[in-house]
Amino acid sequence: MKQFVPMKKDPPRQEHQITQLLAEWREGNQAALDELYPLVYDELHRLARRYMSRERKGHTLQTTALINEAYVRLIDQRNVQWANRSHFFAISAQIMRRILIDHARRHAYAKRGGGARQVSLDETATVIHEDLAEFLRLDEALKSLAELDPRRSQVVELKYFGGLNNDEIAGVLKISKNTVIRDWNMARAWLHSQLAGSASN
Amino acid sequence: MKPERWQQISRIFNRAILLDAAARSAYVKENCGADSDLQAEIEKLIESHQQAEGDDFIGGLAVEDVAEHFSEADEELALQKGRQFGNYLILDHLGTGGMGEVYLAKDSRLDRTVALKILASDVVADKQRMQRFSQEAKVASSLNQPNILTIYEFGEVDTLTFIAAEFVDGETLRDYIRAKRLKLVEILDIGIQMLAALDAAHEASIVHRDMKPENVMIRKRDHVVKVLDFGLAKVTEQKRGSDAVTAEQVLSEFKTAPGLIMGTVNYMSPEQALGKPVDARSDIWSSGIIIYEMVAGTTPFRGSTSAHTIVQILEKQPASLTHSVGVPPELQRIVDKSIAKDADERYQTAKDMLIDLRNLRRRLDLDAEIERSSAAVTVEYAQPARTAEPVATETSKENYALVVALIAIVASLVAVFAVNTWRSTRNRPVVPPPAPIVSTPGRTLTYWITVQKFKDGRAYQEPFDISGEINFEIDYQIRLSVRSPQPGYLYILNEGPETAATAPEYVVVFPSSTANNGSEYITANQRIQIPDQSWLKFDKEQGVEKLWLVFGENPLPELEGIRAFANRQSRGLITDAQLNTSVKSFLTAHSANQVGHEKGDTLTTLTSSEKVLVYPIKLEHH
């Protein structure tokens, strides 16, 4: 797996640069995405932390609101086309997935010494929180699905991680809304069967 | 899977789920023709689809599903070390629970160390409930029962509401049972003290409502149990809009607010889950669940989600405890009675349950007494029953009954062996005797390795015992068990795969800060299992791991220094280079001595004519 390491590039946020990169990516320049990724990661991560901090405990979390806020902060609103917003959401969904999985993994293994020392035998944390373990298994299953059927895994990513609705997903993937619904049903059933399979073994 | 196949499956699946049940099955059959694999696959997917719909699988958003864990890790503390907070000087942050942050602080007026709990803002929001809670907590505290945490003060500083309470230097029962497997006597001692606290509180008409291992502390110095947070649950109890009375209604309520009750459902009584009024008997249920967990290592009702757990609490009969090692039927009966689904069939008072636990405890003491009086005979005849050892420790229901019966008759030789087996599963203070009663020449040590296969982070298949060196796969996890017919001093070190560049590093596996009360002294026939509850896991580095067994008749001064590293913080790694070198030369020097090696199917017995036996178990893994 390609390990993504967020760049330690702090603001000033280059609104213009991000807007530009987004446009380039939409036009098919994959290198733009590589540059875009860490910038958006940092911003989303910062926001996610704030959103999920204690003070807001009990408040309903809205991924969409969160990504929207990142969007407003990062993108130069004056020269932007509407289509950019969907694309921003698409990439944000991917990044949110990355952030949450990174976090879940760190948290799940924190009990194992956090990798501070290379110790040969290690007591496994039997206490990995079930939810986190389940969450990590879902991510693995989603990776398998991506190999089998990239589009359906993208639908799940956009919906579950990105918080996009069916219309938005249809827009991003350039497919009909009905196809989104069909893809979702199939992908969800398949993921469910994969998780149920690993759990019962 | 081939793309065409996948497309075929999804086409049929997507049409099928639009049809009603009867038409669906016919449709699938018709479209699959003779391809029964295809049909099976599609039917499986359709079933998953229905379950996914029912469970609302990934129906929410990922960020919500993990939000709770985010906030745990990334929160910022309300108070910093060294800060003066009202009359209290903040010394340290002790932890964060559902209700708020806990600090170690010094009360400058009385020069007394206290635990200071800052209540989370959502907890204190409802003033009326807070009022009631503070009243109840004060009453509980004023009972002066030694197992109820004493509260010194309720107050508010800088808009933060706090409780100053007796500081208990120890750990929560949660951490305690996580770190080691408890012995029966210890379980009873903890249970008795918990129930004594509840008995006193119930007498004063105070119901705890949230008994769980997180709310029970074990003081380090004397193992005294302290029950925390009486009445606090009342503040955070969910208000129910309507009186839900069926499982379905409860489920749908929990589904709409899954985050609200996370972490607490495992100990919830059926009436609590149903939103009915609770009384003292709900605490009795929760205590029964805690005792069950201490014995079995897991709570009896555990679903994949809170909602599933609730269903089990309401409907499932718990698995019998007597499958666990050495559980007397009487304990099973006590637990069963405390977790009867119908509160009317439970113990009606904490006192009744307390009496039964105390009686059982007394009976075990009596057994131990008889056992001790026959100890002199025991030593001479205590030969390890070699191939049967791992099985023999599984004191089953019948064995126990047999043991009791035999003790009652006479301490014959047969009985002595049975008693001895039973004793080995019991907690006894490990104190080196002034002089060994029987001194056999040389050393004998038996070991076996239990292997658990893991797949995708989950255990699969039953664990099995092996006698030693096989090729281990990366996802095998292991436990090492050791026992000797002789008492002595045991040390176990792990040496990682050799690398050309560096000197070997050693990890202290035993003694540990938790197992065997931290002592390296083991009694004859005492079984040491490492780790106690979890498993050892191989890291990614391939090669040969060594587990060095060192077993001496006397303490080994050369290894005295390793104790300092035998704790969880350093994960046992000896970071002192000089000590590392001296450990290495000790092991090298002694491993030159001849060690007899008798390998059975499930265990290996090592013998040495020296006073110290040193032997590396080699574990090759890929």
**What is the reported pLDDT for B575?**
77
Query: How distant is the Cα of B178 from the closest Cα of chain A, in angstroms?
Result: 8
CB–CB contact A53 B71 (8 Å): yes
Tell me how far apart the alpha carbons of residues B287 and B264 are, in angstroms, rounded to a whole number: 13
Residue with tokens 């206490």: A127
**What is the reported pLDDT for A178?**
93
pLDDT single digits (tens) B276-334: 888 999 999 999 999 999 998 889 998 755 667 778 888 889 988 877 667 888 999 99
Query: How distant is the Cα of B586 from the closest Cα of chain A, in angstroms?
Result: 21
Which among A47, A49, A52 is the top mutation candidate for probing chain B, defined by the most B β-carbons within 10 Å of its own β-carbon? A52
| Identity of the residue in A121, A161, A182 whose CB atom sits nearest the CB atom of B14 | A182
B chain contacts of residue A149, beta-carbon cutoff 8 Å: 6, 10
**What is the reported pLDDT for A111?**
38
**A158 contacts chain B (CB < 8 A):** no
The β-bridge partners of B162 are: B118, B155
* Alpha-carbon distance values, B7 to A41, B35, B446, B613 (Å): 34, 15, 58, 64
CB–CB contact B62 A100 (8 Å): yes
CATH class of B74-167: alpha beta
Query: How distant is the Cα of A79 from the closest Cα of chain B, in angstroms?
Result: 30
**What is the reported pLDDT for B609?**
87
Strand order in the sheet with B216-219: B170-172, B216-219, B225-227
Kindly provide the residue ranges of all beta strands, DSSP E only, lying in B125-190, ordered along the sequence.
151-157, 160-166, 170-172
How many CB pairs below 8 Å do chains A and B form together?
182
**What is the reported pLDDT for B307?**
66
Reported ipTM exceeds the 0.85 cut: no
Mean pLDDT of successive 10-residue stretches along chain B, which has 622 residues: 87 91 89 90 92 85 65 56 87 72 88 85 69 78 87 83 88 84 90 96 88 91 89 56 46 39 69 84 96 91 71 87 79 95 95 94 80 49 35 40 38 33 34 41 85 70 71 75 88 78 77 76 83 69 82 87 71 79 87 78 82 87 70
B chain contacts of residue A110, beta-carbon cutoff 8 Å: 73
**What is the reported pLDDT for A74?**
60
B chain contacts of residue A199, beta-carbon cutoff 8 Å: 304, 458
b/e per residue B320-345 (b: at least 16 CB within 10 A): ebbebebbbeebbebbbbbbbeebee
**B142 contacts chain A (CB < 8 A):** no
Tell me how far apart the alpha carbons of residues B355 and B342 are, in angstroms, rounded to a whole number: 21
- What DSSP element (H or E) covers B614? strand B612-621
**A199 contacts chain B (CB < 8 A):** yes
| Identity of the residue in B17, B67, B545 whose CB atom sits nearest the CB atom of A121 | B545
pLDDT tens, residue order, chain A (201 aa): 222 223 333 334 455 667 777 777 777 777 777 777 777 777 677 666 655 554 334 333 445 555 655 665 565 544 445 456 666 777 777 777 877 777 677 665 543 433 333 232 333 333 345 667 778 889 999 999 999 999 999 999 988 888 778 888 888 888 999 999 999 999 999 999 998 876 544
Query: How distant is the Cα of A81 from the closest Cα of chain B, in angstroms?
Result: 27
Model pTM? 0.42
**A97 contacts chain B (CB < 8 A):** yes
pLDDT single digits (tens) B589-603: 888 778 887 777 677
**B239 contacts chain A (CB < 8 A):** no
**A71 contacts chain B (CB < 8 A):** no
Which among B9, B13, B63 is the top mutation candidate for probing chain A, defined by the most A β-carbons within 10 Å of its own β-carbon? B63
B chain contacts of residue A107, beta-carbon cutoff 8 Å: 69, 72-73
- Strand-strand pairing, B225-227 and B506-510: unpaired
The backbone torsions φ and ψ at residue B92, rounded to the nearest 5 degrees and listed phi first, read -165, 160
Chain A: residue whose CA lies nearest to B460: A201
The β-bridge partners of B552 are: B489, B612
**What is the reported pLDDT for B255?**
40
CB–CB contact A132 B69 (8 Å): yes
Catalytic (active site) residue B210: yes
For the purposes of burial, counting CB atoms within 10 Å of the CB of B567, is it exposed (0-12), middle (13-18) or buried (19 or more)? middle
CB–CB contact A188 B58 (8 Å): yes
**What is the reported pLDDT for B265?**
77
**What is the reported pLDDT for B254?**
44
Which among B58, B101, B159, B542 is the top mutation candidate for probing chain A, defined by the most A β-carbons within 10 Å of its own β-carbon? B58
Per CATH, the number for B172-361 is 1.10.510.10
**A65 contacts chain B (CB < 8 A):** no
Chain A: residue whose CA lies nearest to B568: A113
Structural domains present in chain A: 10-113 (no CATH), 129-201 (1.10.10.10)
